[in-house]
Amino acid sequence: MAFPFQIKSLSDYQQAYKHSVESPEKFWAGIAAHFKWKKKWDKTLEWNFDQPDVKWFVNGKLNITENCLDRHLRMSCDQPAIIWEPNDPEEHHRVLTYNELFFKVNQFANVLKNNGVKKGDRVCIYMGMVPELPVAMLACARVGAIHSVIFGGFSAQSIADRLFDAQAEFIITCDGAYRGAKDIPLKNTIDDALVGCRFVKRVIVLTRTHTPVSMIKGRDVWWEDEIKKVETQGNPPYAAEEMDAEDPLFILYTSGSTGKPKGVVHSSAGYMVYSTYTFVNVFQYEPGDVHFCTADIGWVTGHTYIVYSILCAGGTSLMFEGVPTWPDAGRFWDIVEKHKVNILYTAPTAIRSLMAYGTSPIVGKDLSSLKVLGTVGEPINEEAWRWYHEHIGKGNCPIVDTWWQTETGATMISNMAGVTPAKAGYATLPLPGIQPVLVDEKGVEIEGNDVSGNLCIRFPWPSIIRTTYGDHERCKLNYFTTYPGYYFTGDGCYRDENGFYRITGRVDDVLNVSGHRIGTAEVENAINMHTGVLESAVVGFPHDLKGQGIYAFVILEKMHENQDQTRLDLLQTVTRIIGPIARPDKVQFVTGLPKTRSGKIMRRILRKIAEGDLSNLGDISTLLEPMVVEDIKNGKV
Ligand code: WT7
């Protein structure tokens, strides 16, 4: 069975796009009709971007898990929903059919109920890449609880901040996680996060690594014990909670230009409809295809393209616990061969790091099952694109370059595999329903082709961010006030002579390090917490593997005391406060920072220095102390 809304040709695309712009409500109502609703919506869309207030499928009732699971049971109960490949190739892989996944989700939904989780409660999930992670997410969705998955690389402090912000009373975690040669002690990190935190009522702990953990009486319970209780209750099915179309499905924290990560809130129905639509069209998924998205479920890519959209489409999702380079740099290719992967979706960073090993890890690996390749998370450089195309796709697989963000829920600008044209380094054309606009600094729309500007979106799409949890004003300020009337993406963009879009990178103070989003202000806050630090400024610089690296300029109280040790201590502080992903690659101790007379740090100058572009710093005459620039240049690391 093909999907009723799958676009099959360029002219199909052009027609769908035109329809989606001319009558968006009709267009999306037509797509939404293919989903399972408990009650049909009254009105397709209500919106204004000033508040902002966006509602899709008003008064519609549904439960996304009935779309992910129940409705596939008759047709495809023995079809694999999730294929899980463990970290260690010696360990057996696991397959969960739709039937089995349905059973496990119901079982765990009962566990949640037994532990007091109710509709609307926030549940924090901090687990490794094991099949129980999607089970936990879907079980939350089934009972109507709002999950907030936190990536395993975040520190206890980051978890505590997020728990507090979301007022999450429940946590689901693992004793530990395997990633490459490392065991990561997840439960211990949770315990550190919970020191002094009184509102968390229950921590459910899955056994994975058998790392010793402390289990606090009355608060901590084992996943396995709780499952046994449900078994003795006779494993009753869990009637999926009736959710309003606009009820939040999940919160996912992401970095912005301020020091504090914000909880991006996605709705139940709009997210479901739009993400599934993009999955089927961008990847040109065919029933039975094995889709391997290499992202971690801790990021939005994993939420959307490992879990929700693909299960809604009745597809087979391959999830991998480990890392691309362990036990060797052939791990991905072994997985492709072993599970006959048809679609491979990964990040330019991963491609660049594998490229560095040359082609020998690919030799002798059968990659002939591959039909479609995808990239996400950062601009892809031409060299990596060519390598991916030639050595992995053997010249036969279209590459989709999917541009989107945590806030957009799913892909916004991308070619559709084999259906619309590809161009290396370009996300190419907007998907149906998406109206990109380039604006200048003043917010004036830049029309025509062969132009650059800041990327905005003119009209709501179903999976647009609804709010930032607990602080709607922040959502408005961040996305809807810079250019009134538009959603502002924070990205710079070029539109070529054919109208193809190329994302050129962030224009705000957000870095993209190995496809992970990190706010410079967040890193500065962490550095400034270190004893002896007076002030700091963090900027990005081009990094061969990571795309962007983190460069920190730091002023110490006592400049010349044991700088090497201080540098290491500083890195340790950043690891403690945010997590290892935010560790600066370079730390330069400076005596002053370039500031305007009003005290604002001139980041432009620091960026140039970090990039190594020392000769062309632009006008520095407006600086309070122009001399400081010479000192910084001389001390560049
Ligand atoms: C930022 C969003 C999209 C899910 C993973 C990252 C950058 C994303 C592309 C692409 C160039 C891209 C943008 C965007 N980005 N995809 N195909 N080409 N840049 O989600 O953490 O919310 O980051 O990633 O700068 O704003 P995220």
Q: Are the CB atoms for 457 and 435 separated by under 8 Å?
A: yes
pLDDT bracket for residue 559 (50, 70, 90): confident
Strands 248-254 and 262-267: antiparallel
For residue 377 and ligand 1, the question of a CB distance below 6 A is answered with yes
User: What is d(CA 573, CA 347) in angstroms, rounded to the nearest whole number?
Assistant: 28
Residue 2 has a pLDDT of: 63
| Band (121; pLDDT cuts 50, 70, 90) | very high
Residue 34 counted as domain residue: no
- How remote is the CA of residue 138 from the centroid of ligand 1, in Å? 25
- 348 Cβ neighbours under 8 A, 6+ residues apart: 375, 377, 378, 379, 380, 381, 384, 515, 547
Residues in a beta bridge with 376: 402
Q: Is residue 265 part of a domain?
A: no
Residue 425 lies in a domain: no
Q: How far is ligand 1, taken at its centre, from the CA of residue 428, in Å?
A: 14
Nearest to 120 by CA among 138, 146, 141, 156: 146
Among the listed residues 417, 419, 432, 427, the one whose alpha carbon sits nearest the alpha carbon of residue 455: 427
Rounded to whole angstroms, the Cα distance separating 227 from 504 reads 48
Distance 68 CA to ligand 1 centre (A): 26
Q: What is the reported pLDDT for 1? A: 46
On the question of pLDDT at 235 being above 60, the answer is yes
Contacts for 493 with CB less than 8 Å, ≥ 6 apart:
436, 438, 452, 453, 454, 455, 501, 502, 503, 504
| Residue-wise pLDDT tens digits, 468-515 | 999 999 999 999 999 999 999 999 999 999 999 999 999 999 999 998
- pLDDT for 367 equals 98
Give the mean pLDDT of 86-95: 98
Instruction: Please choose from 306, 405, 406 the residue to mutate so as to test ligand 1's pocket, defined by most ligand atoms within 8 A of CB.
Output: 405
- Residue 68 to residues 79, 108, 156, 496: CA-CA distances in angstroms? 13, 16, 32, 39
Q: Ligand 1 centre from 491 Cα, in Å? A: 9
Query: Would residue 36 count as lying in a domain?
Result: no
Among the ranges given (532-536, 615-619, 628-632), the one the predictor scored with the smallest mean pLDDT: 615-619
Q: What's the pLDDT tens digit per position in 27-85?
A: 999 999 999 999 999 999 999 999 999 999 999 999 999 999 999 997 666 899 999 99
Q: Are 59 and 43 in contact (CB under 8 A)?
A: yes
Within 8 A by CB and 6+ apart from 253, the residues are 148, 150, 162, 165, 261, 262, 263, 264
CA nearest neighbour of 371 among 341, 391, 347 = 341
Which residue, of 206, 241, 276, is where some domain finishes? Answer: 241
Per residue in 205-224, pLDDT (tens digit) is: 999 999 999 999 999 999 99
Q: Whose CA is nearest to atom 21 of ligand 1?
A: 517
**Total number of domains constituting the chain:** 2
Residue 433: inside a domain, yes or no? no
Looking at ligand 1, which residue's alpha carbon is closest to its atom 11?
A: 379
Find out whether 559 and 635 touch, Cβ atoms under 8 Å.
Answer: no
CATH of the domain at 576: 3.30.300.30
Q: CA nearest 316: which of 96, 106, 71, 64?
A: 96
pLDDT tens across 255-286, in order?
988 888 999 999 999 999 999 999 999 999 99
**Ligand 1 in contact with 298 (CB < 6 A)?**
no
Domain boundary among 179, 212, 241: 241
Report pLDDT for 372.
98
Question: What CA–CA distance (Å, rounded) separates 565 from 531?
Answer: 13
115: domain CATH number?
3.40.50.980
What's the pLDDT at 76? 63
Rounded to the nearest integer, the mean pLDDT of the chain is: 96
Cβ 224 vs Cβ 174: under 8 Å: no
In a domain, 230, yes or no: yes
Work out which ligand 1 atom sits closest to the CA atom of 375.
Answer: 17
Q: pLDDT at position 70, please?
A: 96
Decide: 100 in ligand 1 pocket, CB within 6 A.
no
Residue 300 pLDDT level (bands cut at 50, 70, 90):
very high
Q: How many CB atoms lie within 10 A of CB 273?
A: 32
Boundary (domain end) residue, out of 180, 214, 241: 241
Residue at token pair 């362990």: 326
Atom of ligand 1 minimally distant from the CA of 503: 11
Enclosing domain of residue 112: 98-241
Cα 397 to Cα 388: distance, rounded to the nearest angstrom:
10
User: Residue 46 and residue 24: Cα distance in Å, rounded?
Assistant: 12
Q: How many CB atoms lie within 10 A of CB 518?
A: 23
599-619 average pLDDT score: 89
**Ligand 1 pocket, mutate which of 293, 299, 503 (most atoms under 8 A from CB):** 503
Atom of ligand 1 nearest to the CA of 490: 26
Closest ligand 1 atom to Cα of 402: 17
The answer to the question of residue 606 being in a domain is yes
* List of residues 6+ apart from 156 with CB closer than 8 A: 189, 190, 192, 193, 576
In a domain, 585, yes or no: yes
**In the structure encoding, which two tokens stand for residue 45, read together?**
């869309």
Ligand 1 in contact with 405 (CB < 6 A)? yes
